Structure 1
Amino acid sequence: MSDFDISKCESELPSLLQIITSQYSDEEAKNIMLLGSLVSLSSVLPNYTGSYGGEEIYPNLYSFFIGNAATGKGKLIKCSKIVSLVDKYLKDKDSGLLIPGNITYPGFMQLLNAYGGNGLIIETESDCISDSFAKEHGNYSELLRKAFHHENVSSYRKGEKEFIGIDNPKLSILISGTPEQVPRLFKNGEDGLFSRFMFYQLKLNPGWDNSILSKSPFDESSLNKIQLSLLEMFKYMTS
């Protein structure tokens, strides 16, 4: 997907998403923030479900933004910051939300279990995940594929005699990378991980954005208001 036109739907978006996209005037930046925010926000809607094929499903999404240098991949960092206050709120309750892409399979299982089966991965460099997949005990592709369908996952570590079982996992993934990084993560389309992702082709901006002279369109004050608003919504949805 690369020809999405946000101008056709921006005024109809929920208020929180309108606030996020209104921080930018450039259409491509609005597209990135809308689609990226949809993925990050999909991880904090625990009590919303739908039905597909007779199965209960949750809003969680997997998305990969593809682009070369200077195409705006860095804006996805904001999508992580948007939910960071929810992550902190959960960590204060001995839980959490954000899961690093650079992690082993056992570590992933432990964190996801500690988080009650809910998690969000946001990485602006997909090699962080593909490099983990290449390490011993680092390939958690199977876990990602199962979690997409909320299929129960389990593991047993003989040395520690530790069994971990997670029912109905709910995981969201937002990553970006260059065209060359895509096949490093998705070796082929046969293992099923590729088909679980939505892909967005970022557009190259031929101009130069002078970030030194221009005011940031998404300053800390605006970000903090969005974070607080989302946290209040999350508390209401989970109360």
Structure 2
Amino acid sequence: MTDIESLRRLTEAVETAGADIAPTYLEYVQLSFAIATDCGEAGREFFHRLCRVSPKYQREHAERVFSNALHTQRGEVHLGTAFHLAEATGVSICIEEMPKHPTGTKGTAGTARKFPPHTGAYNKVGNDNISDDREGEEELLPGSEPQHQLPTFPENDWPEFLQRIIKAGSNPIQHDIMLLGALTALGACMSRHVRCLYGGKYHHPSLQCFVVAPSASGKGILSYIRLLVEPIHDEIRKEVAIQMKAYKKEKAEYDAMGKERIKKEAPQMPPNRMFLISGNNTGTGILQNIMDSDGTGLICEAEADTLSTAIGSDHGHWSDTLRKAFDHDRLSYNRRTDQEYREVKKSYLSVLISGTPSQVQTFIPTAEDGSYSRQLY
């Protein structure tokens, strides 16, 4: 059965049940990415049909959400997520109708995979239970010591909004990923305003979190955390756009003054502020982004290689910036060409990345690297 045929049957079942399978913005975006990834433009009208059950449905807004999903999707969320959302609301769908995709993303039906027990991954993607015939069995390299599955966090009485974020995961390991990811993102939002005294120094909640897991083991769910802070980033960028428009108008008027310009101070370009800072950056570029944002920001990348490749490039070498930011140290740079000197007295940069075990060594080559002790794994 094709993906579009599966989506059609899912849509008909949801319409028949009258179920709102995307009651919050998080599920709304998940649904758009799931359909866009596997059905492309052909899934647009089905997305509308699934969403319009909700009393909050607005066609124009849904159009923008789906177009954005088509433009930005990277294959991390598949159509199985839509089935998961439907089943969570009580819509009965035959499992044979679910499309098959080899991925570990939440709610996606995937092929069985075997991981070493110490990775904490499950034999069947999206299944909380290790199959009976594999339970307790360990896959070991010759001469290696037995390794055991890492423990997960016990259930706690977290605040209600945090519980909703955690439950986006489909198993205890994904619950851990969502918890640590949410704490990192929320800490980045509050970093300038919250602090505690430790070891004779004030520390802010600017965490650097590295989620390490094998390929297709479910760590891709970390991409949902970015959705929590994108509204903050988007609002800042809107303000920057307005300020830039005003600056360009003032600059044009200033340039048109001719000799009279000496009587008036030239307009200053507004800082290029942002909240989400790209990991694909140069050494000077990352410093400019942090300083323009008054020392605050979050690097959120689904692949650790994005950072390690940038840091290892000819114009990279900004791993020291990450180490200094962890300790809220002063950041500065000096350009000899135009005698420009810039600094920020305190930095509050947070980092949230994920990658495979081999990507850890690419990003942090040795245990002596100062980044090793600053990461939360």
Q: Which has the higher helix share?
A: 2
- Does the 8 Å contact 2:168/2:178 carry over to 1? no
Query: Which of 1 and 2 has greater Rg?
Result: 2
Q: Deviations for 1:40-81, whole angstroms, at most 9, x for unmatched residues?
A: 111000311111112111111011111111111211111111
Q: Structure 1, residues 169-216: CA drift from partner, whole Å, max 9, x if none?
A: 0011011111111111101122311110011xxxxxxxxxxxxxxxxx
1:176 aligns with 2:354: yes
Verify: 1:66 aligned to 2:209, yes or no. Answer: no
Q: Do residues 130 (structure 1) and 275 (structure 2) align? A: no
> What is residue 187 of structure 1 aligned with on the other side?
365
Structure 1, unaligned runs of 5 or more: 200-239
The answer to which structure, 1 or 2, has the higher relative contact order (CA under 8 A, 6+ apart) is 1
Q: Out of 152, 163, 177, which is 1:4 matched to? A: 152
Q: Which amino acid aligns with 2:215?
A: A
Q: Does 1:118 align with 2:265?
A: no
Spell out, residue by residue over 1:95-138, the C-alpha distance to the aligned partner (whole angstroms, 9 max, x if none): 22111111001100111111110010111111111111111121
Match of 1:37 among 182, 185, 191: 182
Query: Structure 1 runs of 4+ off > 4 angstroms?
Result: none
What amino acid maps onto 1:70 in structure 2? A
1 CA distance for matches of 2:212 and 2:170? 22
**TM-superposition CA deviations, 1:21-40 (whole Å, max 9, x none):** 23344222211111111111
1:6 is displaced (CA, Å) by: 3.8
1:92 matched to which residue of 2? 238
* Worse-matched range after superposition: 91-100 or 126-135: 91-100
Residue identity over aligned pairs, in percent, reads: 34
TM-score (norm 2): 0.50
Name the amino acid aligned to 1:105: G
Give SS of 1:171's match. strand
Equivalent in the alignment of 1:143: 321
User: What's the Cα RMSD here?
Assistant: 1.5
Instruction: Name the amino acid aligned to 2:355.
Output: G
In structure 2, C-alpha distance between the alignment counterparts of 1:150 and 1:24, rounded to whole Å: 32
Q: Distance in 1 between matches of 2:285 and 2:234?
A: 20
- Aligned pair count reads 196
- TM-score normalised by L of structure 1: 0.78
More displaced, 112-121 or 160-169? 160-169
Gaps of 5+ in 2: 1-119, 121-149, 241-272
